[in-house]
Structure 1
Amino acid sequence: MRFKMLVLCSALMTVWGSATANQPNVYGVSEKASLPDLNLEVPAKLDTGAVTASLSAQNIKLFKRDGEDWVRFQLAVEGEQQGKELELPVVRISKIKRRAADVPEGESKDYTSRPVIEMAVCLGGKEQDVEINLTDRTSFSYPFLIGSTALQQFDAMVDPSLEYSAGSPSCTT
């Protein structure tokens, strides 16, 4: 009898442990994100309706280096990193569907092309390498947007009733 109880308890603990291990990380609609490669912490909007992540940048220029595509840009974020010029390899060029409000009158272009870079992003205590497109987000409330592809990498669930629930990023490299 004791053996059966021990087996039953062990089985229940295993099932409960695996069920809790598969729980997503719950984040708020806005969180603090760290970009360790840039020594930068920024407020980020977690947007399940966007596919890719976007970082605010200006003076974005594509160029070739040793036959490879690179991008030169200035960070468009508040703080001491504002205007810092960076050069990074381009992973790919992304085509982003434009909202009707973003298309100037007389222009029929439905998509805009953006260079995509890859870098580490830290949310809470979890770090992932994420593809990030570069665009001028200075007219938006958040300089960094994290879309659904990156949210899947973070095994994230976004609770719109929460903000900054993960606290300051605490990833160690």
Structure 2
Amino acid sequence: MDTQKSSQNQVEDHQIAGWREWVALPELGVSRIKAKMDTGARTSCIHAIASERFERDGKPWLRFTVQPQQDSDDTQVCEAPIIDERTVRDSGGHEQLRPVVLTSLTMGKRTWPVEMTITNRERMKFRMLVGRTAMENQLLICPEDSFLLSLED
């Protein structure tokens, strides 16, 4: 197998993203949020300032409020089915049981499904992290660059 050709095919099949990018979550009504590409995190997550569990058609759902622009008071109320609950260890080693939702993520010219945990990231610099499983087969990360992908491309 030609390793060089295999590597080129991998690059051609992926978008090249910076370590931070503007992304959209169209199913949640979030048209633009700054996200950090976090290769150290397995699962993606988004900051919610409030959340409430409820049932729809006998299944668990989550209503949560996001603040897409960090320096703005604008909020977006989102609803999504809960597909799982996972214990997540944060960068400080603290474990937390978090609800997991499945939604679509748009970066550059592509939109694909991602699993995302919902948590309070108020003290964190980024409202959203895109983890490894969301990047898989979609992105290659260029760690020295930012905002390589436009939502309008």
* Higher mean displacement: 51-60 or 70-79: 70-79
Residue 23 (structure 2) pairs with residue 41 (structure 1): no
Instruction: Name the residue aligned to 2:82.
Output: 90
1:150-165 equivalences under 5 Å are 150-154=134-138, 156-165=139-148
Cα distance in 2 between the residues matched to 1:26 and 1:48: 14
Structure number with greater Rg is 1
Give structure 1 regions of 4+ aligned residues with deviation exceeding 4 angstroms.
16-19
Matching of residue 20 in structure 1 with residue 11 in structure 2: no
Q: Give, in whole Å, the separation in 2 of the partners of 1:21 and 1:120.
A: 25
Higher helix share: 1
- How much is the aligned-residue C-alpha RMSD, in angstroms? 2.6
Instruction: Give the structure-2-normalised TM-score.
Output: 0.82
Partner of 1:9: none
Mapped partners of 2:83, 2:35: distance in 1 = 22
Does 1:74 find its partner at 2:65? yes
Gaps of 5+ in 1: 1-15, 102-109
**How big is the shift at 1:124?**
1.2
Number of residue-to-residue matches in the alignment: 147
Provide TM-score, normalisation by structure 1.
0.74
Deviations 1:41-64 (A, max 9, x none): 111100000011111112212222
Q: 1:67 to 1:48 in 2, by over 3 A?
A: same
Q: Distance in 1 between matches of 2:74 and 2:82?
A: 21
Describe the shift of the 1:56–1:90 C-alpha distance in structure 2 as closer, same or farther (beyond 3 A): same
